[in-house]
Structures are given as structure tokens and as C-alpha cells.
């Protein structure tokens, strides 16, 4: 990582003498959203463009109005189960539209969602649910049946985010505060023991605000959601787009084990911005791409980037770095085509309202 950090240090020197024109970099500014949190921002998009597509999975899709209504109904039910500020709610669902509905509903109810990948070993799922003290679990029918022990309440959704059992209708009037928890994600921990990282709405909003400004997100964007639910990149693949009126697209039957299939899916869905983990992104850079592609930005991160993109790629590659505790991203930067073959690509410069410090081996 030292070569990449050297690049970061050089960029710092340039930024110190640069003007304050907005860019991806060490730029301090107020959050664009001062009075609203993510669920209110999504509802605002539903009011502004109710028939715009919010999320797709295979041949299924939800408009913003449909997404907002289903999330409201589920949020109302969750409130009746005691979900409110700082109450952690497990979310364990196979990739589907229900994942988005469930996460939004938990936020609307005032709670914090705890993403759980159904592919995790049962032992890990049970540890996390117990350690997080989650009194409610939102899940799918198959996943619920596979868990030997459940929290106090289990809410089951179908793949399109609808409750399997009828409940009274209503909307959630809960408005989260900036200091309330938005989500909790468990990492492996430095000792190998899973540990929960708590992220507030204020931190999530800073990520959303920076992302929308840095990458000029508009309602015309079509974003991919390829990461596993338990990986914090999934947060980044959802909320910056749904709060901007863009659409989020979940692949059906496409995995990162097949770079060609991922490329073809990105092209067929006319995806304009995507996130891919570093090893997959490096494979994707070696593939042939059409000269004219809807994809304008490929975000990558989670591992050391070893290669620069070739000049023929029809999109920009952006390298990112950040531990889960920093709300997905701490530094970000565009990687130029094969500019410095003698050193690793830079990890960029700090995102909005983040300070970066270069430390030696003694922490100085």
C-alpha cells in the first residue's frame, strides 16, 4: 500500500496550493441535506416522480410510488412491534426487490437495519442477531425456515417486498434525527471475532451528499447493486441513487465469478455507474467494451488496485478506500490510464468533511 499512499501524499501537496473548486478531494463543506434524512429524501422523490422506476430485479420493477407505499406499510407494522430510534432490526433476505423495501421500511420506522447475508453460516447469523440484540428480523420465507432460533418477532416478505400476511394499513410518522442509528454492519474484527459498526444518519447523509456531488448523479442515472447485503458497499450502491431519483438495478443470475457476464449485464441494463470489488474491476478492465457505452463511471475498492486502466476504456475508473467505520468511503480518486506504470494507483484524496493524516509506523 505504500506506493498508493505516496500518491495520496503528492495529491495532498497539490491540493494545499489549489483553489477550492468542488472536486473529489480534501474538500470541507456543509452537508447538502440539512433537515431531512434518507427515508424523507426517498419519499420526496416518490412525490416528485411517482411513476419513475426506483428498483429492478430481473423482469420485476417498482416505481418510486410503489416502493414508498410498500415501505410505509412495512414501517407501520414494524412500529407496532416496537421498532423506533436506535432499535436494530435484522434484514436477512436473498437478493431481491424485498431487500430495498425492507431496508427503507426499517429506516422509515426509525430503526437501524442490520444487513445479514443469507449465505453466511447459520452460526454466524445467530451470533450477529444475538450480539446486536435485534428484537425483530425482516426476512424471506425460505431464510426464516432455515434459522434454528429467531428474535422476538419475525416479519416475512415475498420477493417483491410485500408482507405475506395482511396487516392494518398506515404510514410511519417517525422522522429520524441525525444522531440516530441508520444501520449496523458486522465486520470480522481485528481479532477475528465479528464486531458491529454503528453508523448514524448524519454519517450516511455525508456519504450520500458527497457522492451525488462528486459523480453528478441525476434521475437519469442507472446504478448497479451487485454487492452482498452484508458488505458495506451495498449501502453505497443504494442510498445515493434512491435519494436522487435514479434507478437501482439488481442482477438476476449474474455473479462476480463471470466477468464477461457482468459486463454484458451492465451493457444490457444501460448501467451508467457501478461499483465492483477490486479483483473483479481489474478483470473487467481487460475485456473488450463497445466504443459507446452507457457506463460512465466504474467505482472500485476493498482491495489494493494493482493496475491502471487502458486508454481505450469508454468510462472512468475511480479508486476508493475506507474502513466500514468511516461509512464506506474515506478517500476517492480518478485513476488515469497507465500514467505511472512504476507505482500503484493512488487511493485518492479525502471525501467531503473527512480529514486524512499520513502516519508512520509509530502512529505519528
The reported pLDDT for the residue numbered 230 is 87
pLDDT > 90? residue 79 = yes
| pLDDT of 1 strictly over 50 | no
pLDDT at residue 36 in the model: 85
DSSP string, 308-350: PPPTT-SSEEEEEE--GGGSS-SEEEEE-TTS-TTSPPP--EE
Q: Has residue 113 got a pLDDT over 70?
A: yes
Distance CA 82, CA 196 (A): 22
Write out the three cell numbers for 339. 500514467
**pLDDT(6) > 60:** no
CA distance 132 to 196: 7
- 43 within 8 A of 243, measured Cβ to Cβ: no
Q: What is the pLDDT of residues 125-184, one digit of tens each?
A: 888 999 999 999 999 876 766 676 677 899 999 989 998 776 655 555 578 899 999 999
What is the three-class DSSP state of 360?
Answer: coil
Is residue 194 very low, low, confident or very high in pLDDT (cuts 50, 70, 90)? confident
pLDDT at 147: 72
- CB count, 10 Å around CB of 218? 11
Per-residue three-class SS string for 104-172: HHHHHCCCEEEECCCCCCHHHHHHHHHHCCCCEEEEEHHHHHHCCCCCCEEEEECCCCCECCCCCCCCC
Q: How far apart are CA 215 and CA 258, in angstroms?
A: 27
- For 201, list phi and psi in degrees, rounded to 5: -60, -35
Output DSSP code: residue 243: T
Residue ranges of the domains in the chain? 1-20+30-37+201-355
Q: Distance (Å, rounded) from C-alpha 57 to C-alpha 107?
A: 21
Query: Which residue(s) pair with 300 in the sheet?
Result: 276, 319
- What region, left, alpha or beta, does residue 302 occupy, with left being phi > 0 and alpha being psi -120 to 50 degrees? left
The whole-number pLDDT of residue 141 equals 76
| Three-state DSSP class for residue 300 | strand
Judged against a pLDDT cut of 60, whether residue 255 lies above it is answered with yes
Query: How is the beta sheet containing 331-335 ordered, strand by strand?
Result: 60-63, 53-57, 247-250, 222-224, 273-277, 297-301, 316-321, 331-335, 349-350
Let me know how long the chain is: 364
What is the reported pLDDT for 175? 83
Q: In the predicted model, what is the mean pLDDT of the chain?
A: 87
Contact by Cβ (8 Å): 12, 362: no
Q: Taking the CB of residue 49, how many other CB atoms lie within 10 A of it?
A: 15
Distances, alpha carbon 262 to alpha carbons 32, 65, 93, 326, in Å: 33, 29, 22, 28
Burial of 222 (0-12, 13-18, 19+ CB in 10 A): buried
pLDDT higher than threshold 70 for residue 233: yes
pLDDT of residue 132: 93
- Between strands 112-115 and 88-92, the pairing is parallel
Measured distance CA(109)–CA(111) in Å, rounded: 6
Identify the pLDDT of residue 343.
86
Predicted confidence at residue 254, as pLDDT, reads: 79
Looking at per-residue confidence, does 19 or 248 come out higher? 248
Contact status, residue 347 vs residue 335, Cβ threshold 8 Å: no
pLDDT, greater one: 26 or 104:
104
- The predicted model gives 203-224 an average pLDDT of 96
Question: Would you say the pTM of this structure is higher than 0.85?
Answer: yes
**For the CA atoms of 9, 282, 225, 205, what is the dihedral angle to 10 degrees?**
0
Residues 220-237 have a mean pLDDT of 94
Q: Give tens-digit pLDDT for 22-78.
A: 344 455 565 556 678 999 999 999 999 999 999 999 899 999 999 999 999 999 999
* CATH superfamily, with its number, for domain 1-20+30-37+201-355: ANL, N-terminal domain (3.40.50.12780)
Amino acid at each position: 500500500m505504500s506506493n498508493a499512499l505516496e500518491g495520496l501524499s503528492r495529491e495532498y501537496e497539490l491540493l494545499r496550493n489549489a483553489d477550492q473548486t468542488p472536486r473529489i478531494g480534501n474538500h470541507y463543506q456543509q452537508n447538502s441535506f440539512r433537515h431531512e434524512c434518507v427515508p424523507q429524501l426517498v419519499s420526496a422523490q416518490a412525490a416528485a416522480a411517482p411513476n419513475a422506476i426506483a428498483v429492478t430485479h430481473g423482469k420485476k420493477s417498482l416505481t418510486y410510488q410503489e416502493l414508498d407505499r410498500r415501505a410505509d406499510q412495512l414501517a407501520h407494522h414494524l412500529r407496532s412491534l416496537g421498532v423506533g430510534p436506535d432499535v436494530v432490526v435484522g434484514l436477512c433476505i436473498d437478493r431481491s426487490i424485498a431487500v430495498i423495501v425492507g431496508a427503507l421500511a426499517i429506516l422509515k420506522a426509525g430503526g437501524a437495519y442490520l444487513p445479514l447475508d443469507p449465505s453466511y453460516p447459520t452460526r454466524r447469523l445467530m451470533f450477529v442477531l444475538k450480539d446486536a440484540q435485534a428484537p425483530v428480523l425482516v426476512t424471506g420465507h425460505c431464510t426464516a425456515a432455515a434459522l434454528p432460533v429467531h428474535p422476538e418477532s419475525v416479519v416475512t416478505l415475498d420477493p417483491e417486498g410485500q408482507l405475506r400476511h395482511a396487516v392494518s394499513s398506515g404510514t410511519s410518522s417517525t422522522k429520524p434525527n441525525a444522531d440516530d442509528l441508520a444501520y449496523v454492519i458486522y465486520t470480522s474484527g481485528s481479532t477475528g471475532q465479528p464486531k458491529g459498526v454503528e453508523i448514524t444518519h448524519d454519517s450516511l447523509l455525508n456519504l450520500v451528499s458527497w457522492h451525488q456531488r462528486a459523480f453528478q448523479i441525476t434521475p437519469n442515472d442507472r446504478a448497479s447493486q451487485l454487492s452482498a447485503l452484508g458488505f458495506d458497499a451495498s449501502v453505497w450502491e443504494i442510498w445515493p441513487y434512491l435519494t436522487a431519483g435514479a434507478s437501482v438495478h439488481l442482477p438476476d443470475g449474474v455473479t462476480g465469478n463471470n466477468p464477461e457476464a457482468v459486463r454484458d449485464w451492465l451493457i444490457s441494463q444501460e448501467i451508467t455507474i457501478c461499483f465492483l470489488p477490486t479483483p473483479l474491476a481489474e478483470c473487467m478492465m481487460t475485456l473488450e467494451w463497445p466504443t459507446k457505452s452507457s457506463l460512465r463511471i466504474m467505482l472500485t475498492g476493498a482491495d489494493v488496485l494493482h493496475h491502471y486502466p487502458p486508454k481505450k476504456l469508454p468510462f472512468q475508473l475511480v479508486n476508493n478506500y475506507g474502513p466500514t467505520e468511516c461509512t464506506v468511503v474515506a478517500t476517492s480518486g480518478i485513476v488515469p490510464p497507465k500514467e505511472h506504470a512504476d507505482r500503484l494507483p493512488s487511493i485518492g484524496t479525502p471525501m467531503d468533511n473527512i480529514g486524512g493524516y499520513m502516519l508512520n509506523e509509530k502512529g505519528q
